[in-house]
Structure 1
């Protein structure tokens, strides 16, 4: 009589004298090394006990934890052994986890280890991270081998980019303010990357960056909030705009997140009615598919990425804010935590390391000040940042983070904060404001030198064409 169920096939793996009991299929499904070993037809492919030579037991333990769904923080020694295992065993999930852990404290260790073991995805990610905070690490960088320094120097640092809220316009009524601009941090000047397409809307649109391209989805036209049916992509490499398909559910005031080759459209409104649908767009297949709906219809839910994961906030009556993780592998929403706070008109969330920072205006009689709560993903603990933060004209709601520096923006100034070890935000620098009215979309983009030179030339000679 045939068996109706199958049990997991257990495997004993010995590393440095330590015996690990694990699931054979788990290793086969996640490790190119084990997949090749068990399908090789050699004697080892049929054994239920194997030994791994020249690997650290600590690194293999971390590998098993990550394959089991954990996302552990790692010390320098653990990073070195984990990188070795990820490279030798070819475990993509572990490599992704290591990339998600890159920060200003460990980026150089990650970079050197990835170079040593040939872990290319981690190597490139760490190099770009170092390039973005080069000045902060300048003394440590010079301890690297010359070829590693040369590679970092060859990369383009990300630039702080902003675009205002604009509705579509007729070509003969072109609005010269419909420009996307970047901040030249050395000269403290905003330079134009040219106008967004005439038919594009950044008013109540979803705007995000993915694979160093800008994506605009949805948006509204005019006071009646007629939904814009076209979506647009900007590629800084060739300084060009292109159209791509819009979600099946047309929407404005949509939240758009770019993550691992996909765009995620959360909620929004259509004909003034909030929607709960979630859709995913694949850059490879160029198709939109529906995911699991949100638990409630909502327009513009705050969302961010942290630790290689996607998080968003929903709120319910009695001023309850609920933090969810959107599991992109299963297209499911998982409730993570909640907090009771008075909800005013504003709500924003940004991620830094394993922390989520949630900003909100309030209390309701003081719209110019903002409170910030910190939720630590690892400890599952909430803390409130000391004091209140000035949120003049919504500056904090434009917050984006590069390294340990928060960039906020309004018409008056670009205010930079440093996130310290106690999670507080300390103002460090003021730079030029962005002289555009209305709400703003901000993000970081790697702009080629040739495009920056054209922007600089246009700044000096405003009557010339950018193209």
Structure 2
């Protein structure tokens, strides 16, 4: 059969794949170099890749075509081999986004075998976060790999309460960002807020392990704060960065791919649909696609490397939209209808979105949780209801398979199970009043010195496989 223009056949093991050349060139460094080399293969209708697994190439093609499949262990192993050999960055990114407690060790081991170091590092970070749950399964790892995992900082639960800018002549020692010392079950001060910073109705997000604070208001007059602040975790220092082009408060802030997104909010009693994008590298703001409709205090989360928001439509409709960063557009994903109820918080775990909503008739002491599975495109209500005393579930943060919620009385940690969140542990309450922002940070291990490890990297394919010793300078990395 004659090929359509712009297509090529790729033979992997005994299977033939008919693939668009453009997609291969855009997604794979291997194919880009091949087709631009001027070699004989450039004009051939069929290219052989006999040393790669067909199942891994199938996953590669699915990801390049825009799918986000959940993979079993065998598929992960084959996909990593293809990602490494063909240098498929989108596949590596997808693998990073689907790391879980069930597959993190397989990811780490296989990434080490094939020298896929971005995936190896993120897998190691995930293992560090769930270390107590997987410690026994790590016993067979080589000592240098265990040392690498243990050299990393685990994620720490961090909180900041609502604060207006400080009157400079007052010493307000409560204006701090704090972290939970789980070993001592106490909250400790990480840093004090800059005098002019506001966390009241501000947007707060973490990008590359740095805290960003955007907007907010000053006092009861709700005068918008123009200054934005960034806390560098490793240097323990604050800096300012440029103001939004369209000032606002009660905005939602999220970060991805070295960028911040300031979503919706309020300006002079007007609810906004505008979205602005801050490019960290260039230190500039630009406008992005408007929201489908205006919103303030919008619930937002990220799952599998994708950004999702809840937009409430009175009295019973919660629409979930995804922001497509590459295409700069909003796409309606699903709609949840519940009488007299709206989603006031949304968090993600693997391919599940959890929408936490108040009970009927604005009963804020009872919360219900609905789960939307992105892969199956199905809703499920978690069994029972959840007590929301003094706002504990107005903010929730997920680390590994656990949900951290906090109020003034206690920190309540849940285990995420198939059909419910099971209370697992209680910790100290956060010693501040009012609403709060919570997030995760990796706190620097200043006492960790630079160590040089020699990793034996297994690479190559088929009969060409062999061992190579590679010297790795392991500089503590907290991102």
Superposition TM-score, scaled by structure 2 size: 0.91
Work out which of the residue numbers 290, 296, 299 in structure 1 matches 2:293.
Answer: 296
Report deviation, 1:292: 0.9
Answer whether contact 2:317 2:342 (CA < 8 A) is retained. Answer: no
Looking at structure 1, the residues matched to 13 and 244 of structure 2 have their Cα atoms a distance apart, in angstroms, of 52
**What whole-Å deviation, never above 9, does each CA across 1:166-185 have from its counterpart, x for those lacking one?**
01012211311000000110
Cα distance in 2 between the residues matched to 1:372 and 1:346: 9
Tell me, in whole angstroms, the C-alpha distance in 2 between the residues paired with 1:346 and 1:352.
Answer: 17
Q: Which residue of 2 aligns with 1:461?
A: none
**Partners of 1:266 and 1:277 within 8 A in 2:** yes
Structure 2 alignment gaps of length 5 or more:
449-479
Of 345-354 and 377-386, more deviation after overlay is shown by 345-354
Q: Secondary structure at the match of 1:173?
A: coil
Deviation larger for 65-74 or 316-325: 316-325
Q: Which residue is 2:120 aligned to?
A: 123
1:436 aligns with 2:432: yes
* Partners of 1:8 and 1:78 in 2: CA distance: 31
Tell whether the 8 Å contact from 1:8 to 1:24 is kept in structure 2 after alignment.
no
**Does residue 309 of structure 2 align to residue 312 of structure 1?**
yes
Aligned partner of 1:49 among 28, 46, 49: 46
After superposition, where does 1:447-462 map in structure 2 within 5 Å? 447-450=443-446
Shift of 1:427: 0.1
Correspondence 1:250-399 to 2 at 5 A: 250-344=247-341, 347-364=344-361, 366-399=363-396
Q: What is the rounded CA distance, in whole Å, between the counterparts of 1:253 and 1:343 in structure 2?
A: 22
1:175 to 165, 172, 175: 172
- 1:423, 1:232 → 2: CA distance? 40
**2:397 counterpart (392, 397, 400):** 400
CA contact (8 A) 2:383 2:419 kept: no
Shift of 1:316: 1.2
In structure 1, distance between residues paired with 2:355 and 2:120: 31
Structure-2 change in CA distance of 1:8 and 1:443 (3 Å): farther
Give matches, 1:19-168, under 5 Å.
Answer: 19-168=16-165
Cα distance, 1:318 vs structure 2: 3.7
In structure 2, what is the Cα distance between the partners aligned to 1:180 and 1:262?
22
Checking the alignment, whether the CA contact within 8 Å between 1:385 and 1:423 is kept in structure 2 is: yes
Match for residue 445 of structure 1 among 441, 445, 461: 441
Distance 2:119 2:144 in 1: 17
Per the alignment, in what secondary structure is the counterpart of residue 171 of structure 1?
coil
- Greater share of strand: 2
In 2, Cα distance between the equivalents of 1:364 and 1:290?
38
Bigger RCO of structures 1 and 2 (CA < 8 A, at least 6 apart): 2
> Corresponding residue for 2:453?
none
> Aligned with 1:243: secondary structure?
strand
Q: Out of 362-371 and 137-146, give the one that drifted further.
A: 362-371
**1:343 CA displacement:** 4.0
Task: Give unpaired runs (5+ residues) of structure 1.
Answer: 1-6, 453-467
Query: 1:375-428 deviations in whole A, cap 9, x for unaligned?
Result: 0001110111111100111101211000000000000000000001x2410000
Q: Deviation string for 1:342-382 (max 9, x for gaps)?
A: 34476110000000000111112522110000000011101
Query: How many residues matched?
Result: 445
Once residues 8 and 215 of structure 1 are traced to their aligned partners in structure 2, the CA distance between those partners, rounded to angstroms, is 49
Would the aligned equivalents of 2:312 and 2:343 in 1 still touch at CA under 8 Å? no
**Matched residue of 2:109: which SS?**
helix
Partners of 1:292 and 1:174 lie apart in 2 by: 42
SS state at 1:60 partner? helix
Q: 1:30 to 1:345 in 2, by over 3 A?
A: closer
